[in-house]
Amino acid sequence: MDDVWRERLSEYLDGELSAEECRACERHLEACPACAAVLTDLRNVVARAQRLEDRPPVRDLWAEVADRVRAPAQVPRRRRIAFSVPQLLAASLALIVVSAGTAWLTMSLGRDATPSGAVTLEAEQPVAVFAALPGFDAAVADLERVLEERRNQLDPATVRVLDENLAVIDKAIGEAYAALVRDPASQYLSEHLADTMWQKVRLLRWAAEFAVAAT
Amino acid sequence: MLVSVLTAVVLAAPAVQQIDTVIPVGDRARLRVHAVSAEVTVRMWNRSEVRIVAQRQGREEFAIGGSRSTIQVESMTPFGTDNRIDITAPATLGLEIEGAFVSADIEGVRADVRVVSAHGELRLVGGAGLVKLQTVQGNVECRGARGRIEVGTTNGELSVVDVDGAVVAETVNGPVTLTGIASDAVEATSVNGDITYRGTFRDGGRYAFGAHNGNVNVFVPAGTDADVLVSQFSGEFESDFPITLTGTRSPAKRFNFTIGNGGARIELSSFGGTIRLRRP
């Protein structure tokens, strides 16, 4: 029963539980100091991430970003995976940092409606999607490391499917990255690359939670 | 000697124990099933009771416990062993089913449903409130749900039919098909797979369909008022709606236009596939 609620604390924090589940979770937290401590840590992570949204505007980072864009494209190497709760928590920290950065990035992009029948190509503005890249690397590295440690908790067939599909996502990331290097002013490519990276993190996170639940 | 050998064989054969239990439950009760490997079938009846029928083989752990508000079923039958768990329950029973090799076939529930599996086919007819179906390897079908619907698979097909409520559908390798959707918030993504949508576009609603290597096919009902944003890197754009392209193109294409008077927001993106905007 304890493990059931521990693995759902992130859902509780994100407001994704039903009202009845919230009440049940809160009753459990009152009786379980360990889960209460994990929840406190997660709340602290979220608070730190929210403070990161007060970073300077995008354009101040462009010079650094442009250098990264011009660097040779590097497709993130796929690594093996496994989890422990503390490591999952650490990964969640990096994960939430990435998500906060990505959300901030997405919200800063504006779009204009056009009159019916008329199509206007939007003026492309440089976007510092790679401002989120350091956080992404850290999040993926943490998740992959934790999953590697819990590899034996997952059956080989599941690991194989995860590996194959992480390779699919990595290939998509590489293609998007290469396209962005050729067209760094493309708002769409910046967003698409960020979305695809985020999809990798979501898959790793899901696999990590499943591995933890399997222990 | 022969009798001794036969006796030894009989004793070594795993004992099959039939489990058939009926448990009374209160209103808004929940059922949690955790299994290593099982085909779980859930059907409804008009009784304030939950019936659980299963077979326990040998010494595998199988436990049923809980209270009138929460029933828990644990099955440790390993993969490779035929294991069915048939459940009959009131329609208002919330369901949580999870496991490594778990397939679920649920019909008629009118409550929250959460099914998480690593390998398994997930099928739900019904569901109300929070509906979440997720697997790594397998197809997912959700039909007739109401509320907030999240469906996902890594390797498989997603099919969402005749639902009413917010929809999030995500796959890595496989198509996403959304049909008969009544919603003001739909998000469908696939890395390698086509996305097809047939449903409403409500004023003020947001509908986002994105693929990396997949086509995006969206059917727009007559009378729809929408602002459409199209984003592509390569691939074609086809539209049954007349549009006039102005301005210059960058290697990556992004343009927007309005259908009717605008109102709903439709975002169509595909890195390398074709985007099609069709009349039904």
pLDDT in tens, B52-91: 999 776 666 788 888 888 999 998 877 666 789 999 999 9
The verdict on B55 touching A (C-beta cutoff 8 Å) is no
Average pLDDT, integer, range B247-271: 82
DSSP B28: T
Identity of the amino acid at A173 = I
Mean pLDDT of chain A: 64
Phi, psi (5° rounding) for residue B133?
-125, 120
CA angle A162, A164, A166 (to 5 degrees): 65
Q: Which of B154, B255, B262 sits opposite A203 (nearest CB)?
A: B154
Cβ–Cβ below 8 Å for B252 and A179: yes
pLDDT recorded at residue A84: 35
Specify whether the CB–CB gap between B154 and B117 falls below 8 A.
Answer: no
ipTM of the complex: 0.85
Average pLDDT, integer, range A5-26: 78
Which of B222, B178, B226, B180 has its CA nearest to residue B202?
A: B226
Q: Which of B243, B255, B272 sits opposite A121 (nearest CB)?
A: B255
Of the pLDDT bands very low, low, confident and very high (cuts 50, 70, 90), residue B128 is very high
The verdict on A182 touching B (C-beta cutoff 8 Å) is yes
- CA-to-CA distance for A147 and A156, rounded, in angstroms? 13
Most confident of A7-11, A95-99, B249-253: A7-11
Mean pLDDT of chain B: 89
Specify whether the CB–CB gap between B49 and B31 falls below 8 A.
Answer: no
Most confident of A91-100, A166-175, B251-260: A166-175
Chain A residues lying within 8 Å of B192, measured CB to CB: 168, 172
Give the tens place of pLDDT for each residue, A57-110: 333 333 333 344 444 333 333 333 333 333 333 344 344 434 434 433 333 333
Of the pLDDT bands very low, low, confident and very high (cuts 50, 70, 90), residue B21 is very high
CA distances from B142 to B68, B105, B128, B182, B243 (A): 28, 10, 11, 14, 35
Chain A residues lying within 8 Å of B253, measured CB to CB: 121, 188
pLDDT recorded at residue A157: 86
Cβ–Cβ below 8 Å for B260 and A157: no
Specify whether the CB–CB gap between A197 and A203 falls below 8 A.
Answer: no
Residues 6+ apart with CB under 8 A from A1: A28
pLDDT recorded at residue A45: 53
What are the DSSP calls for B154-204, one per residue? Answer: EES-EEEES-EEEEEEEEEES-EEEEEEB-SEEEEEEEES-EEEEE---TT
Higher pLDDT, A181 or A214: A181
Q: Where are the domains of chain A?
A: 1-52, 59-213
Chain A residues lying within 8 Å of B256, measured CB to CB: 111-114, 119-120, 122
- CA-to-CA distance for A27 and B138, rounded, in angstroms? 35
Chain A from 108 to 167: CB within 8 A of any B CB: 111-122, 124, 154-155, 157-158, 161-162, 164-165
Q: Which of B155, B249, B269 sits opposite A165 (nearest CB)?
A: B155
Chain A from 90 to 119: CB within 8 A of any B CB: 111-119
pLDDT recorded at residue A37: 67
Most confident of A174-183, A185-194, B174-183: B174-183
Chain A residues lying within 8 Å of B210, measured CB to CB: 192, 195
